[in-house]
């Protein structure tokens, strides 16, 4: 497999120029080097990284998918789109997309280990999962920049080569998922495998006061009573359950009090988060985060 690694100068916060330049360089590589795979650099659409991502980030990868899916199909090469600053409902992510020779998007990966010395964690949300895929019959995996410092990530992907590999792995990571001047949320994430076909993952969130380090509860910081919080969450979960055809075990959550829910701060907002199999079967997957629209109490803003 022949790979062309494209090193390009980016203009900070100028996605139009960067998209045009990236396409130009991929075309040049395809014409002169005839690679099987062209690889773009990290955050090539914005540079690493503007202080204000809102006006220049891609929206759920829509522009990246449109441009490079068509380009991969036209040139009949595989394209690993480096990574792009990417805006989704949950916030900004450092996301890589992969397109095969037919233009199909075969993989998507959010950077797991954000480079905290440069403050990347203050602008981006961290990813949750490994990413493996196949190009031209070759098994591949994705990591981005600082991820390389954490060998457990690549080891995990290597073990996933055989989905029934009986080797045990236990991968832990911790990161700040969001903060305000008065509150900070720390996420504790665990991916592990005891053998058999299905790995397991958990996520726990803890929100602390920045002045004293004390743990706070949902009812303590939200601008609503515990009864209002419980009613709101059950209403939102009921909507998700109806859309999922009754896959959510509502009795699990009817037994919850307001402060039994896990929650996290992101972009100054509060989201209730659910563990991967909390209240649902393995086949269903997971429950979507719920934004607590009543917001923070004035004293916590």
- Residue 269, phi then psi, degrees to nearest 5: -110, 160
Average of pLDDT values for 231-253? Answer: 93
- The mean pLDDT of 177-206, rounded to a whole number, is 80
- Is there a catalytic annotation at residue 166? no
pLDDT over 70 for what percent of the chain? Answer: 93
Domains of the chain: 3-161 (3.60.110.10), 163-301 (no CATH)
Q: Rounded to an integer, what distance in angstroms lies between the CA atom of residue 100 and that of residue 105? A: 7
For residue 106, name the pLDDT band (cuts at 50, 70, 90).
Answer: very high
Confidence of residue 165 (pLDDT cuts 50, 70, 90): very low
pTM of the model: 0.54
pLDDT grade for 149, boundaries at 50, 70 and 90? confident
199-216 per-residue burial string, b: 16 or more CB within 10 A, e: under 16: bebebebbbeeeeeeeeb
Task: Determine the distance from the C-alpha atom of residue 65 to the mean position of all C-alpha atoms in its chain, rounded to a whole number.
Answer: 17
Cβ neighbours around 293 below 10 Å, total: 12
Helix-helix angle 15-32:62-75, to 10 degrees: 20
pLDDT-derived band of residue 231, with 50, 70 and 90 as boundaries? very high
- For the ranges 77-91, 155-169, 193-207, the lowest mean pLDDT is seen at 155-169
pLDDT for res 164: 46
**Would residue 5 show up in a list of annotated catalytic residues for this protein?**
no
CA distance 250 to 237: 8
Q: What is the mean pLDDT of residues 266-280?
A: 87
- Across the range 118-132, mean pLDDT stands at 88
Strands 58-59 and 78-80, how do they pair?
unpaired
Flag the least confident range among 55-69, 79-93, 121-135, 278-292.
278-292
- CA 157 to CA 160: how far, in whole Å? 5
For 34, 236, 284, the CA distances from 292, given in Å and listed in that order, are 51, 10, 23
How deeply is 277 buried, as exposed, middle or buried, from its count of CB atoms within 10 A (0-12, 13-18, 19+)?
Answer: middle
Catalytic-residue membership of 111: yes
> Which pLDDT value is given to residue 158?
76
State the sign of the Cα–Cα–Cα–Cα dihedral 276, 279, 284, 289. negative
Judge whether residue 129 has pLDDT over 90.
no
State the pLDDT at residue 194.
54
Residues 267-295: what's their mean pLDDT?
A: 86
Task: Out of 42, 90, 120, 273, pick the active-site residue.
Answer: 42
Q: What angle do CA 73, 75, 76 make, to 5 degrees?
A: 60
- For the stretch 1-43, pLDDT in tens is 899 999 999 999 999 999 999 999 999 999 999 999 999 999 9
Q: Which of 126, 145, 230, 273 is catalytic?
A: 145
**Is the bond preceding residue 285 a cis peptide, omega within 30 degrees?**
no
Q: Three-state SS for 252?
A: helix
Q: What is the pLDDT of residues 243-254, one digit of tens each?
A: 988 889 999 999
| pLDDT score of 275 more than 90 | no
Neighbours of 184 (CB within 10 A): 17
N-to-C CA span, the chain = 53
Apex CA 149: angle with CA 143 and CA 109, to 5°? Answer: 20
Q: Which of 56, 87, 108, 111 is catalytic?
A: 111
CA-CA-CA-CA torsion sign (261, 237, 93, 143): positive
């Amino acid at each position: 497999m022949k790979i062309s690694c494209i090193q390009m100068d980016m203009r900070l916060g100028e996605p139009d120029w960067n998209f045009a330049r990236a396409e130009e360089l991929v075309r040049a590589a395809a014409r002169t080097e005839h690679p099987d795979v062209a690889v773009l650099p990290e955050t090539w659409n914005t540079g690493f990284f503007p202080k204000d991502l809102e006006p220049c980030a891609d929206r759920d990868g829509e522009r990246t998918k449109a441009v490079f899916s068509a380009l991969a199909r036209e040139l009949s090469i595989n394209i690993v789109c480096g990574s792009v600053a990417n805006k989704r409902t949950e916030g900004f992510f450092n996301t890589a997309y992969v397109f095969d020779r037919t233009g199909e998007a075969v993989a998507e990966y959010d950077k797991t280990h954000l480079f905290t010395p440069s403050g990347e964690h203050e602008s981006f949300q961290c990813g949750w999962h490994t990413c493996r895929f196949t190009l031209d019959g070759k098994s591949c995996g994705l990591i981005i920049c600082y991820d390389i410092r954490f060998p457990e990530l690549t080891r995990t992907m290597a073990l996933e080569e055989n989905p029934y590999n009986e080797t045990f792995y236990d991968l832990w990571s911790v990161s700040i998922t969001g903060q305000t001047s008065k509150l900070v949320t720390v996420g504790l994430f665990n991916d592990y495998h005891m053998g058999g076909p299905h790995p397991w993952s958990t996520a726990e969130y803890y929100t602390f006061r920045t002045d004293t380090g004390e743990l706070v509860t949902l009812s303590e910081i939200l601008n609503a009573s515990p009864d209002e919080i419980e009613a709101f969450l059950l209403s939102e979960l009921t909507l998700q359950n109806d859309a999922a055809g009754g896959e959510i075990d509502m009795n699990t959550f009817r037994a919850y009090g307001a402060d039994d829910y896990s929650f996290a701060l992101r972009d100054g907002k509060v989201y209730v988060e659910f563990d991967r199999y909390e209240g649902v079967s393995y086949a269903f997957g997971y429950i979507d985060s719920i934004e607590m629209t009543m917001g923070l109490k004035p004293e916590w803003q």
